[in-house]
Structure 1
Amino acid sequence: MSVSAVSLSRLLRCSLPAVGRSANTHPARCVCEREPTLPGARWSSTRLDMDGSGRPATWDSFGIWDNRIEEPILLPPSIRYGTPIPHVSLSNVGCASHIGRRRENEDRFQVSKLAHNILYFAVFDGHGGPQAADFCHKHMEQHIRDCLEVETDLQAVLSKAFLQVDVALAAELRIYGNASLMMVGTTATVALLRDGIELVVGSVGDSRALLCRKGKARKLTDDHTPERKDEKHRVRHSGGFVAWNSVGQANVNGRLAMTRSIGDFDLKKSGVIAEPETTRTLLQHAHDSFLVLTTDGINFIMTNQEICDVINQCHDPTEAANVIAEQALQYGSEDNSTLIVVPFGAWGKHQNDEYTYNMSRNFASIGRWS
Structure 2
Amino acid sequence: MSAACLVRLARCSGPYVGRSGLLQTALVPVPLQQDSHLQFTVFKRQLYSPSEQRHSNTRFDPDSSGRPTTWDSFGIWDNRIDEPILLPPSIRYGKPIPKVSLSKVGCASLIGQRKENEDRFQVSQMTDNILYFAVFDGHGGPEAADFCEKYMEKFIKDLVAEESNLELVLTKAFLEVDKALAKHLHFSPNVPGMNAGTTATVALLRDSIELVVGSVGDSRAMLCRKGKALKLTVDHTPERKDEKERIKKAGGFITWNSLGQPNVNGRLAMTRSIGDFDLKNMGVIAEPETKRISLHHVHDAFLALTTDGVNFIMNSQEICNIINQCNDPKEAAQRISEQALQYGSEDNSTIIVVPFSAWGKHKSSDTSFSFSRSFVSSGRWA
Q: TM-score range by the shorter chain?
A: 0.7 to 0.9
Aligned to 1:174: 186
Superposed counterparts of 1:7-156, under 5 Å: 7-8=6-7, 30-32=26-28, 62=71, 65=77, 67-156=79-168
Aligned to 1:288: 300
Give distance in 2, aligned partners of 1:213 and 1:172.
41
Q: Please list the CA deviations of residues 231-280 of structure 1 after superposition, one character each: whole Å capped at 9, or x if unmatched.
A: 11111111111111111110000000000000000000000000000000
Displacement after TM superposition at 1:80 (Å): 1.3
CA contact (8 A) 1:65 1:347 kept: no
So what's the TM-score if we normalise by structure 2?
Answer: 0.79
Paired residue for 2:257, among 227, 230, 245?
Answer: 245
CA contact (8 A) 1:60 1:71 kept: no
| 1:295–1:32 CA distance, 2 compared to 1 (3 A) | same
| 1:296–1:261 CA distance, 2 compared to 1 (3 A) | same
Displacement after TM superposition at 1:9 (Å): 5.9
Q: Please list the CA deviations of residues 171-195 of structure 1 after superposition, one character each: whole Å capped at 9, or x if unmatched.
A: 0111233696331000000000000
CA contact (8 A) 1:60 1:70 kept: no
Q: Please list the CA deviations of residues 124-155 of structure 1 after superposition, one character each: whole Å capped at 9, or x if unmatched.
A: 00000000000000000000011011101000
Displacement after TM superposition at 1:215 (Å): 0.4
Task: Work out whether 1:319 is the aligned partner of 2:328.
Answer: no
Instruction: Tell me which amino acid in the other structure corresponds to 2:250.
Output: S
Q: 2:145 aligns to what SS in structure 1?
A: helix
Q: Please list the CA deviations of residues 288-319 of structure 1 after superposition, one character each: whole Å capped at 9, or x if unmatched.
A: 00000000000110010000000000000000
Give distance in 1, aligned partners of 2:109 and 2:191.
30
Displacement after TM superposition at 1:28 (Å): 10
Give distance in 2, aligned partners of 1:179 and 1:249.
30
CA contact (8 A) 1:296 1:337 kept: yes
Aligned to 1:335: 347
Aligned to 2:277: 265
Instruction: Tell me which amino acid in the other structure corresponds to 2:27.
Output: V
Superposed counterparts of 1:197-236, under 5 Å: 197-236=209-248
Aligned to 2:66: none
Aligned to 2:287: 275
Displacement after TM superposition at 1:68 (Å): 3.0
Q: 1:273 aligns to what SS in structure 2?
A: coil
Instruction: Tell me which amino acid in the other structure corresponds to 2:275.
Output: G
The more displaced of 203-212 and 73-82 is 73-82
CA contact (8 A) 1:60 1:67 kept: no
Q: Please list the CA deviations of residues 299-352 of structure 1 after superposition, one character each: whole Å capped at 9, or x if unmatched.
A: 110010000000000000000000000100111000000010000110000012
CA contact (8 A) 2:306 2:352 kept: yes
| 1:115–1:29 CA distance, 2 compared to 1 (3 A) | closer
So what's the TM-score if we normalise by structure 1?
Answer: 0.81
Task: Work out whether 1:196 is the aligned partner of 2:208.
Answer: yes
| 1:245–1:369 CA distance, 2 compared to 1 (3 A) | closer
Give distance in 1, aligned partners of 2:214 and 2:220.
10
The more displaced of 169-178 and 274-283 is 169-178
Aligned to 1:17: none
Displacement after TM superposition at 1:8 (Å): 4.5
Give distance in 2, aligned partners of 1:116 and 1:225.
36
Give distance in 2, aligned partners of 1:307 and 1:121.
18
Paired residue for 2:197, among 158, 163, 185?
Answer: 185
Q: 2:27 aligns to what SS in structure 1?
A: coil
The more displaced of 171-180 and 323-332 is 171-180
Give distance in 1, aligned partners of 2:5 and 2:191.
64
CA contact (8 A) 1:289 1:345 kept: yes
CA contact (8 A) 1:114 1:120 kept: yes
Q: Percent identity?
A: 67
Task: Work out whether 1:298 is the aligned partner of 2:310.
Answer: yes
Q: How many residues align?
A: 324
CA contact (8 A) 1:239 1:271 kept: yes
Give distance in 2, aligned partners of 1:265 and 1:210.
29
Displacement after TM superposition at 1:69 (Å): 1.9
Instruction: Tell me which amino acid in the other structure corresponds to 2:168.
Output: A
RMSD across aligned positions (CA): 2.9
| 1:354–1:246 CA distance, 2 compared to 1 (3 A) | closer
Displacement after TM superposition at 1:123 (Å): 0.1
Q: 2:153 aligns to what SS in structure 1?
A: helix
Q: Which consecutive unaligned segments of at least 5 residues does structure 2 have?
A: 11-22, 32-55, 59-70, 377-382
